[in-house]
Amino acid sequence: MSMLHKEEPLTMPKSRRRRRSPSRDSPYDDDAYGYCKSKRRKATRDYDYQKHSRSPDRRRRRHHHHYHHHRDRAHSDENSYSPDRTNYSSRHSYHDSDHSSHYHSHESSGHSRSYKRKKYRRSYRHHRPSYSSQSSRQDHPELIAGAPCIEDDEDGHLIYHPGDVLQARYEIIQTLGEGTFGKCVEVKDVARNGQIAALKIIKNVEKYREAAKLEINVLEKLKEKDPEGKYLCVRMLDWFDYHGHMCIAFDMLGLSVFDFLKDNTYYPYPLDQVRNISYQLCYAVNFLHENQLTHTDLKPENILFVNSDFEVSYNAKKRRDMRRVKNTDIRLIDFGSATFDHEHHSTIVSTRHYRAPEVILELGWSQPCDVWSIGCIMFELYTGYTLFQTHDNKEHLAMMERILGSIPYRMAKRSRTNYFWHGRLDWDSTTSAGRYVRENCKPLYRYIMEPNNEDHVLLFDLIWKMLRYDPLARITLKEALKDPFFKKSCYLGGRARSHSLSR
């Protein structure tokens, strides 16, 4: 290993910039949560047109109780807006609504039965009842003026506007971010003296509702173990079901470490901040591991600063201003894919760039796959770019061999994948993909920016221990927290060290 330390560091490839890979789909298995589907959608889906001849237009109209207060604003479709901040991941929680909606139907017009069925299905798919109809207000004087129209867009997102109030408690301020799961919005919690919170609104799509139920289950168990949030996992404040949309309220946090890196033009974090962020990450994930839980989706997007305020200084070497975050306190988020030891383990987990070799080789996985992900994250914080920049399994394995050495023969023989030939990776280094790997990857220790600096070398010593191929030989997070690299962490003498990690 010492031989590697003495090699002259090569200049980092300037052209390498992070290509984001699509988030993997999480398994949406049922859990102990008993979830009642929306009565509106069930009634619509099961409606028997043979027995009912009432107008489809009137059947589509449903009215809310007065608890859906709307700030005395008439509904307008012109108030739609786009997110003004980057993705903010937090998770949601659900409660089945305590209120059910009413159906109001009138006599059918003279349309044919087939036309009614086609028109009804086409219009109802993305539209839930509107209350702007004057006749409807006259027929139902109990409705409050300005009650919100509950609609979904074609992707299943809830259509909302600033000023809308959900559950007579959360007043929507603005959109924070949008993802495949739904949207995250900034809200004012009127039940907590107007305190600002983040509300995750899940799509009205069955698989995302099921995934949200799994996440809520994990968040509630973490809250039981750590009610004060000492172990740096995001706190769930509340959850409820809003007309088929699972919603989870969280403390408002800052940018993710990835978004901050991106806004800083991928200029890497200073070494002291890499140390502090990495220590907290190991601390939080170790808490999960000691409670028989594997996160499975660790990545910079799922690590949020508590406060992402920054100061600007001029970098003479780069000849431009650089940002430095003032406070490196973080919180770990996104437990939608977290898996307990006794639960079913899906074959593929983790986002591509942070996926452990045992997952790619389909050899089974457990807590060590999180340790591998943390090693990749620490490298990215230090360099500003991903360690394994690929979207192909065999190329991914070739990069591993170029950076970390050959994959152990026994792992190759155990794998049922077709990536090996007689125990060696079946990879042609003369192809364009082979040249790309050869030109853009190098042995791990040659990425050290200051090879004569002990702290830089200690960082890569720890990353090396986290990136061992064999999961059994990989360092545990309990051991990593005692690593020499973390001796200078500002968290060792403060809050983080004062909390025992044992349960």
316: tokens are: 């003479």
> Which of 93, 97, 102 is closest to 40 using CA atoms?
102
Is residue 30 part of the annotated active site? The answer reads: no
Contact 198, 102 (CB under 8 A): no
Phi, psi for 186 (deg, rounded to 5):
-85, 130
CA pair distance 102, 89, nearest whole angstrom = 34
Determine if residue 42 is labeled as part of a ligand binding site. no
Q: How far apart are CA 213 and CA 210, in angstroms?
A: 5
CB 245 within 8 A of CB 200: no
Q: Which residue among 297, 329, 334, 370 is the active-site one?
A: 297
DSSP for 443-460 reads: -GGGG-S-TT-HHHHHHH
CB 426 within 8 A of CB 394: yes
Q: Which residues contact 254 (CB under 8 A, 6 or more apart)?
A: 304, 305, 306, 307, 308, 309
Q: Is 196 strand, coil or helix? A: strand
Torsion angles phi and psi, residue 2, rounded to 5: -65, -30
Q: Provide the CA 105 distance to its chain's centre, in angstroms.
A: 42
38 contacts 206 by C-beta, under 8 angstroms? no
- The overall longest dimension of the chain from CA atoms, in Å, is 88
Burial 241-255 (b: 16+ CB within 10 A, else e): bbbbbbbbbbbbbbb
Between CA 227 and CA 242 the distance in angstroms is 26
- In three-state secondary structure terms, 116 is helix
Grouping H, G, I as helix, E, B as strand and the rest as coil, residue 120 is helix
And the tokens for 227?
């009610």
Q: Let me know: does 87 contact 301? Beta carbons within 8 Å.
A: yes
- Give CA–CA dist 44/64, Å, rounded: 17
217, 33 in Cβ contact below 8 A?
yes
Measure the CA angle with vertex 232, ends 229 and 238; round to 5°. 50
Can you tell me whether residue 200 is helix, strand or coil?
strand
Active site residues: 297
Numbered residues of the known binding site for ATP: 200
